[in-house]
Structure 1
């Protein structure tokens, strides 16, 4: 039985249209700008059925430390539907005053009334997918909103009473220069967000961009954008705590994402939802869950695939997450979350220290600036 705090990820798989760079499990709505009420009701009920099966299968009796609506576009949900879902979840897994409840919002599908409803339903943190404040860049990215839409959405969220807002921004965009990348950060700062996710556009397989190959900035521009951006963010009081995550103080770091990065446990429900669960039996068992990806199939039956994380794969799975954190990790936490002795990392640590990618002191392994910048090279040492 799992009784300690746990995270819950809820996937909402629909978008108004799928962006050309997106490799997430997102599906364009048959009718743009609108989630059919009947479809919403069916999906919400299936989410609860999905959750009930997970709770029963894994023996979960825990309060939620965090809850995260991702997508797709969760802000397509009606506030009434969201309120119903959160109330039902609370009956199963208590949502407390300290539970972080985040919802991803698209500026094109959000307004003041909807934000008021979301806050009344129990959402206490918004992650607004701005991506850029340049209309030219937004058009190139295939986004359905404009700079004005993004500004209006952020201001509407503030008027609705949200005091914990993340802005999602990308850099390394087609045709972007260091000046235009930093201009995005300057524009974002006027809204005083509590948190910024600032990450480089990557071209992933099975996306439109992978086929069309847009012209991205040259390497020298990418390096300048990164260096200047990190310096600017630090001067503005945004403390970097993960490769692409910046917060105005420790209390405003994303609890839910920290669960991932610290190799914690979480449920994943919804079409394509993933979860990770640990159970202490004679040894520590770690399992990953994956739900049916295609929404119409999920609505018929949210089949669950459960796979064991083999002992030999646990070190790299842990490191892929923990080495993203500026704080690094304590060896005792590696032992607690993987069930393995710290000596399993001996070669990794020795090589990492030798190459200047990590430091090791007082039982803590910490990535250096080079280790964060060249994470892929660091992980090859595992």
Structure 2
């Protein structure tokens, strides 16, 4: 489709940022009531046809990223572990053929405990996946049922065991502030997770997203704000005690195990997204472009064949960029070097001076000139901090 963009008025980008590849596999066994991702309950997955579309999508995207090296690959969903190891191998083989993939690239695949088994994990590892991210959410059967999950606590434990066997690094996803959950139960989930010595752990507050069943009809007995805050503080303290660093709003990692793919997002790197509903952010010398692909899987597969699968293209304007950059960078508890702002946006940092002064005066950001870093208060009230950078 024709690209209609507004070029931003800046000094331009001297060096393009690192590039990641995101691959969206949109099917799940069952749609969870809290999920607002572009995922669809499987009525039989057209794996071969969908992979055909993915690879054609990737070929059509090559002119936008020609010659650029891929630093990380992330299979998200949906539930990517519903795809066969052979299918994942076919995708990664094509990626290596079409693009320069770094030899030590981090390749992550999201998996759910209800869909994994030893043979499949081994196959994913053989295909080149280096990291799995397991959507455990809870080990408590009552809470899993309340969340509409299809796995039970035993499935979750078995999946964590398999992840530890087959992968040097893996992530366990947990949620807290669940319906009827007590502080003791939140701590118990964490202790069970830590028994598997995960190199990385994500802990998310259950949120009631619009346009989800939970958004329309909230579940009963949700913890109040004070109890949820107590859970968050207890989780942070326990993980710190276990030697895990709280490096991003919801992410904790042992040394050298932070998610490199997600770090590239937070540091305002580039990413090419292929698949149904995937988003891209691509930097050129004189503009930064966001793209979105057709959301529905069948419509996406049809549209790729017609080269009409990119449904939205826009350039970030000069007024967009400060908020877009800070929305990512300030999720990192240690922030980013101040020089990264100009390197990734092509704009001088002084255009943010009024917002930075307000943030520092309100105790939301550190005052060091060489670093952009939220204070503990800024981490706790991140939305208030980010609003200062909205100029539109």
TM-score band, normalised by shorter chain = over 0.9
CA RMSD in angstroms comes to: 1.4
TM-score (norm 2): 0.92
Structure 1 unaligned blocks of 5 or more: none
Q: Which residue of 1 aligns with 2:237?
A: 231
* CA displacement, residues 289-310 of structure 1 (integer Å, 9 cap, x when unaligned): 1100000101101311321111
* CA displacement, residues 38-82 of structure 1 (integer Å, 9 cap, x when unaligned): x100100110111111112x1421221100000000000100111
* CA displacement, residues 70-108 of structure 1 (integer Å, 9 cap, x when unaligned): 000000010011111100110111233310000000111
Q: Which residue of 1 aligns with 2:294?
A: 292
Q: Which residue of 1 aligns with 2:278?
A: 273
Conservation of the 8 A alpha-carbon contact between 2:363 and 2:375 = yes
* CA displacement, residues 260-294 of structure 1 (integer Å, 9 cap, x when unaligned): 101100100000000100011xxx31001110000
Q: Which residue of 2 aligns with 1:74?
A: 80
Equivalenced residues, count: 370
Q: Which residue of 1 aligns with 2:363?
A: 356
Conservation of the 8 A alpha-carbon contact between 1:174 and 1:214 = yes
Output the CA distance in 2 between the equivalents of 1:340 and 1:96: 29
Q: Which residue of 2 aligns with 1:306?
A: 313
Asked if 1:17 is matched to 2:19, the reply is no
Output the CA distance in 1 between the equivalents of 2:377 and 2:118: 43
- Secondary structure, in 3 states, of the residue corresponding to 1:133? coil
- Secondary structure, in 3 states, of the residue corresponding to 1:312? coil
* CA displacement, residues 95-125 of structure 1 (integer Å, 9 cap, x when unaligned): 3331000000011111000001000000000
Output the CA distance in 2 between the equivalents of 1:299 and 1:237: 45
Output the CA distance in 2 between the equivalents of 1:87 and 1:226: 41
> 2:197 pairs with 172, 182, 192, which one?
192
Q: Which residue of 2 aligns with 1:100?
A: 106
Conservation of the 8 A alpha-carbon contact between 1:327 and 1:366 = yes
Q: Which residue of 2 aligns with 1:137?
A: 143
Gap change, CA 1:330 and 1:5, over 3 Å in 2: closer
Output the CA distance in 1 between the equivalents of 2:331 and 2:163: 30
Gap change, CA 1:4 and 1:234, over 3 Å in 2: closer
Conservation of the 8 A alpha-carbon contact between 2:73 and 2:107 = yes
- Secondary structure, in 3 states, of the residue corresponding to 1:327? coil
Q: Which residue of 2 aligns with 1:219?
A: 225
Q: Which has the higher contact order (CA 8 A, sep 6+)?
A: 2
> 2:352 pairs with 341, 345, 353, which one?
345
* CA displacement, residues 138-172 of structure 1 (integer Å, 9 cap, x when unaligned): 0000000001001111212233x211010011111
Asked if 1:380 is matched to 2:381, the reply is no
- Secondary structure, in 3 states, of the residue corresponding to 1:360? coil
Structure 2 unaligned blocks of 5 or more: 1-12
TM-score (norm 1): 0.94
Stretches (4+) displaced over 3 A: 1-5
Asked if 1:178 is matched to 2:215, the reply is no
Output the CA distance in 2 between the equivalents of 1:76 and 1:223: 35
Gap change, CA 1:94 and 1:225, over 3 Å in 2: same
How do 1:237-276 and structure 2 match up within 5 A?
237-249=243-255, 251-276=256-281
Deviation at 1:204, TM superposition (A): 0.4
Output the CA distance in 1 between the equivalents of 2:65 and 2:101: 18
